[in-house]
Amino acid sequence: MAARGVHLDHGQRRDWLRLIRTENVGPRAFRGLVNRFGGAAAALEALPALARRGGGLIPPRIPTASEAEAEMEALARLGGRFIAIGEPDYPAPLREIDDAPPLLAVRGLPELLNRPVVGIVGSRDASGAGRTMTARLARGLGEAGWVVASGLARGIDTAAHEASLPTGTIAVIAGGHDKPYPRENQPPLERIAEVGAVLTEMPMGWEPRARDFPRRNRLVSGISLGVVVVEAAERSGSLITARLANEQGRLVFAVPGSPLDPRSGGANGLIKQGASLITSADDILEALAPLLGRSIPSALEEREYDTSAIVDPTENTRSRVLSLLGPTPLPVDDIIIMSGASVSDVQILLLELELAGRLERHPGGTVSML
């Protein structure tokens, strides 16, 4: 992996950070902008005009260069740095997902990110048996050379991190590096930041809210080739991770439990839905072995584009696309077909609306107007 990919220089990395920290710019809009304008710097320049054309009354707030520098320095003071998608240290499986973060803020040992990773997630209110099982799985995976990723929560997550500390553990957090959650986990976090890795896509200073946890969960599965659910009640966050893992094409494993124990409801339910029942690390290793050594294409690279050939959509095209959009999510593919506009035109028009804060993207490639 080390030989491939690009390296951003300091200025490019700062521009990437400014762009991804810009209001209304998520990973998909970021990719659309960089792909269209050939780089973050050009995208930042084009952004105010795009948002205006999208109907934004107030231009989106773009962090200044010094604000971005300040965030980079704050992360560096914690021993961390930003790794960009396309760079060698960026986790290869994460590049495959649709909404891969363009920048990861990483503390600890970034080399862990490119060893094969298994996610282990489960209930905060884990039973003793659940924690024992978790430790057994994490140790077995670690001894076989796999890194264990989890979410640093109480219960299963903590058991997974602790058991894999000697062999390699990655904590994915939902807030900024200076705002870990829950507070009680501050000591294990610092230990993981020394001998493992801690990563987040959220800005320094970000206090995680409820909606940030599912968003974080997509990264736990995204950096993993498979995800193991140990104990999970029905309707729990671990099941969200399992669903995201499945959508990302990752293998989903579940540890069975007695139907009389509500903490087994989620994992048993996953098995009913097709997840693999596992009872040992060997079961997981056997299923994952064929996935090792796959090469994964890069989703985005900073490079020189010839943007001179790109022509803006006509007013006619713009109004045809706009007339199709409403509060009901509609597949982008359908918008292209129904409008008769080019793929490129539809993409830029949607991007403009997104930057203006008027468009929402949903899973499965659908969009709606806010």
Range 130-189, binding its own copies (CB under 8 A) = 132-133
Residue selected from 277, 292, 296, 337 as contacting its own copies according to rule CB under 8 A:
277
> What is the smallest separation between the CB atom of 287 and its own copies, expressed in angstroms?
11
- The footprint of its own copies on this chain (CB under 8 A) covers a number of residues equal to 19
Residue 128, class by beta-carbon neighbours within 10 Å (0-12 exposed, 13-18 middle, 19+ buried)?
Answer: exposed
Residue 271 makes contact with its own copies by CB under 8 A:
yes
Q: How far apart are CA 25 and CA 53, in angstroms?
A: 16
> What is the smallest separation between the CB atom of 256 and its own copies, expressed in angstroms?
3
Residue 100-139 contact track with its own copies, rule CB under 8 A, x = bound: -----------------------------x--xx------
Q: What number of helices (H) and strands (E) belong to the chain?
A: 15, 12
DSSP alpha helices (H): ranges in the chain? 10-20, 27-37, 40-53, 65-77, 92-95, 128-143, 156-164, 186-195, 212-222, 237-247, 265-272, 281-288, 315-324, 332-339, 343-355
Give 96's Cβ-side CA count (13 Å radius). Answer: 17
Report the residue number, 208 or 269, with the smaller CB distance to its own copies.
Answer: 269
Using an 8 Å Cβ cutoff, are 200 and 174 in contact?
Answer: yes
Residue 280 makes contact with its own copies by CB under 8 A:
yes
Residue selected from 96, 162, 178, 283 as contacting its own copies according to rule CB under 8 A:
283
Q: How far apart are CA 106 and CA 112, in angstroms?
A: 11
> What is the smallest separation between the CB atom of 282 and its own copies, expressed in angstroms?
11
Residue selected from 66, 272, 309, 311 as contacting its own copies according to rule CB under 8 A:
272
Residue selected from 258, 314, 319, 344 as contacting its own copies according to rule CB under 8 A:
258
Range 216-245, binding its own copies (CB under 8 A) = none
DSSP state of 267: H
Identify the CA nearest to 256 among candidates 239, 277, 274, 272.
277
Options 5-13, 47-55, 164-172, 278-286: segment touching its own copies (CB under 8 A): 278-286
Report the residue number, 111 or 261, with the smaller CB distance to its own copies.
Answer: 261
> Does residue 88 have a cis peptide bond before it, meaning omega lies within 30 degrees of 0?
no
Report the residue number, 256 or 326, with the smaller CB distance to its own copies.
Answer: 256
Residue selected from 100, 202, 228, 255 as contacting its own copies according to rule CB under 8 A:
255
Report the residue number, 279 or 344, with the smaller CB distance to its own copies.
Answer: 279
Options 5-13, 93-101, 267-275, 343-351: segment touching its own copies (CB under 8 A): 267-275
Residue 344 makes contact with its own copies by CB under 8 A:
no
Residue selected from 268, 284, 302, 350 as contacting its own copies according to rule CB under 8 A:
268
Provide the token pair at 290.
Answer: 């064929």
Q: How far apart are CA 71 and CA 73, in angstroms?
A: 5
Using an 8 Å Cβ cutoff, are 105 and 75 in contact?
Answer: yes
Q: How far apart are CA 248 and CA 257, in angstroms?
A: 26
> What is the smallest separation between the CB atom of 242 and its own copies, expressed in angstroms?
15
Provide the token pair at 84.
Answer: 């960009």
> What is the smallest separation between the CB atom of 139 and its own copies, expressed in angstroms?
14
Report the residue number, 27 or 265, with the smaller CB distance to its own copies.
Answer: 265
Report the residue number, 256 or 364, with the smaller CB distance to its own copies.
Answer: 256
Residue selected from 64, 279, 307, 314 as contacting its own copies according to rule CB under 8 A:
279
Report the residue number, 44 or 284, with the smaller CB distance to its own copies.
Answer: 284
> What is the smallest separation between the CB atom of 260 and its own copies, expressed in angstroms?
5
Q: How far apart are CA 265 and CA 127, in angstroms?
A: 13
Give 235's Cβ-side CA count (13 Å radius). Answer: 0
Q: Which amino acid type is present at position 111?
A: E
Alpha carbon of residue 353 to chain centroid: 23
Kindly list the residues in this chain that would bind its own copies in the complex (CB under 8 A): 129, 132-133, 255-260, 264-265, 268, 271-272, 276-277, 279-280, 283
